Structure 1
Amino acid sequence: MQDVQTKLDSAFLRDVGLNLQAAIPLEQLPETLRQQLHQACPQAADFRQLLLFGNGGPRFWQAAQTHMEANANLTNAQEAHPLDQFSITMVEQFIRDELGAEASYLFLYPGSFTLNLQSLGSLLAWHQNSPLMIGIHPEFGLWSAYRVLVLCNSNFASSLPLQQRSAEQKSVSICVACQTRACVQACPANAMDHAGFHLDRCWQYRSQEESMCRVRCVARLACPVGTEHRYSDEQIHYHYAQSLVFMRK
């Protein structure tokens, strides 16, 4: 049972690819986010912290595939969101092992509650805006994702920066500082320009039978940040096939 403040840094979760880990005391949330949380989930009043977990790089996919193969007899082949279920299973095991079987917690994501994960990522310096309208991580580039957000009565040390960054530091953006704009140049749909990201152009191109972006994003692959952490082709194809189905709906 946890009784002192320690940094949230689980070797078990890192080993299954959930290498982005943060604890945020609810009292330290910006007022707007705290109000949004309590409005979306009134039960938040019963908890002390938000725990946010994500993956950076390809290890998460490898661990999930290994887990699903080893537990094939227990896994529903028709499971709509196997990666979500894997994430939840791993975080639940971590909570039980770290905090005890009687630990009190409530999953917000994946789940029925809505909270802006990118806003939390920005607080933790995990997220900057990119022309592709997906977050870019300073280390992992475009190869990271939020996996689990859970309310918990834990007592981890806060993962939020101790001091507010200066206005000058806040204005520095990986993408703004980028000289090549490789993603913009590579996009075969010309979906990005000075006016922003044009989803209609992206979808119109992706939906074509001969599109190069049906099961990958050419622009995303062109980004020079964090290329050593790029997902495998198998993982990329999986995610983009899923997104294509979603866009068609």
Structure 2
Amino acid sequence: MTAAAGIDVLDATLAGHGLCLRGWVFPGGPDVAMPSGTGTASAICLVGHAGGAFWPVFEAWRITHRGIDDPLDTWSKSVITPIAETAGGEAVFPSDRPWQPFQQWAMAAEGLKPSPLGMLIHPDYGLWHGYRGAILFEKAAMARLVTGEPSPGTSLAPHPCDTCSDKPCLSACPVEAFTPAGFAVPDCRSYLKGEAGRDGCMRSGCLARDACPVGRSYRYSAGQIRFHMTAFC
């Protein structure tokens, strides 16, 4: 199996669930942390989504899996774990301890940087993307998937926020929760629990996130937005 064929098969399998291969990183290199815990890897494949491509698949699954705690994390594991095992790798997830350095891996794989809101911003997807898991490959397993080392994710530049002079995301929050000191989580959650928050951000999504002009075509659906807002509260 050639490198291109192995990666294409992996990406096509993920695509059937609305997910995609977001990039590769190689632990031990510059700015690439090793997996937490006892796990080892010679290569890490990040798995995630752009926009809400996975949402209809997840919603169909959720209809037959009512009453499950953390349904999105459970669904992600049910999809990615068998794909990882078939490819000869080990799946790890952002929701599990020991916490894995997903942000570091994402920045190394795709050249992303944080937005003023703290979330990683993509030059095409804006703030409407995410990472659902990663697949760790050791050398022997990696050899079965690809020939040689796959190319790491393409470095993306320029950082979209560098050319955004107005920074509308910072002025859109009703309680000014985003400051140079960081994200005031208690202020945000307190607002969301009030009438104005329930009728505003809880219904239509975070106003600060929504103010970003990048990646508007990838904006989540109303149902997906409400799901994430409820999970945050």
Q: Give the TM interval when normalised to the shorter protein.
A: 0.7 to 0.9
CA distance in 1, matches of 2:42, 2:23: 14
CA contact (8 A) 1:124 1:159 kept: no
CA distance in 2, matches of 1:195, 1:95: 39
1:124 is paired with a residue whose SS is helix
Which residue number in structure 2 is paired with residue 57 of structure 1?
51
* Residue-pair matches, total: 220
CA contact (8 A) 1:130 1:136 kept: yes
2:133 is paired with a residue whose SS is strand
TM-score by length of 1: 0.76
Gaps of 5+ in 2: none
Letter in 2 for 1:137: H
Residues 19-67 of structure 1: per-residue CA shift (max 9 Å, x gap): 243233335x337613xx3xx32231xx432221011111111111123
CA distance in 1, matches of 2:14, 2:85: 13
Which residue number in structure 2 is paired with residue 137 of structure 1?
122
Which residue number in structure 1 is paired with residue 3 of structure 2?
5
1:154 to 133, 138, 142: 142
Which residue number in structure 1 is paired with residue 18 of structure 2?
17
CA distance in 2, matches of 1:111, 1:121: 17
CA distance in 2, matches of 1:51, 1:89: 17
CA contact (8 A) 2:31 2:108 kept: no
Which residue number in structure 2 is paired with residue 228 of structure 1?
217
TM-score by length of 2: 0.80
Residue 205 (1) aligns with residue 191 (2): yes
CA distance in 2, matches of 1:80, 1:24: 31
Which residue number in structure 2 is paired with residue 33 of structure 1?
33
CA distance in 2, matches of 1:197, 1:91: 31
2:38 to 39, 42, 58: 42
CA distance in 2, matches of 1:207, 1:81: 21
CA contact (8 A) 2:81 2:91 kept: no
CA contact (8 A) 1:21 1:51 kept: yes
Which residue number in structure 2 is paired with residue 247 of structure 1?
none
1:234 is paired with a residue whose SS is helix
Task: Map 1:165-180 onto structure 2 (within 5 A).
Answer: 172-180=158-166
2:206 to 214, 217, 239: 217
> CA, structure 1 residues 210+125, in 2 after alignment: closer, same or farther (shift >3 Å)?
same
Residues 118-157 of structure 1: per-residue CA shift (max 9 Å, x gap): 1111112263211211111111111111101232332444
Letter in 1 for 2:115: S
Residues 78-137 of structure 1: per-residue CA shift (max 9 Å, x gap): 21122222222222343355x3xxx35243544222122111111122632112111111
Gaps of 5+ in 1: 245-249
Residue 181 (1) aligns with residue 167 (2): yes
CA shift, 1:232, in A, is 0.3
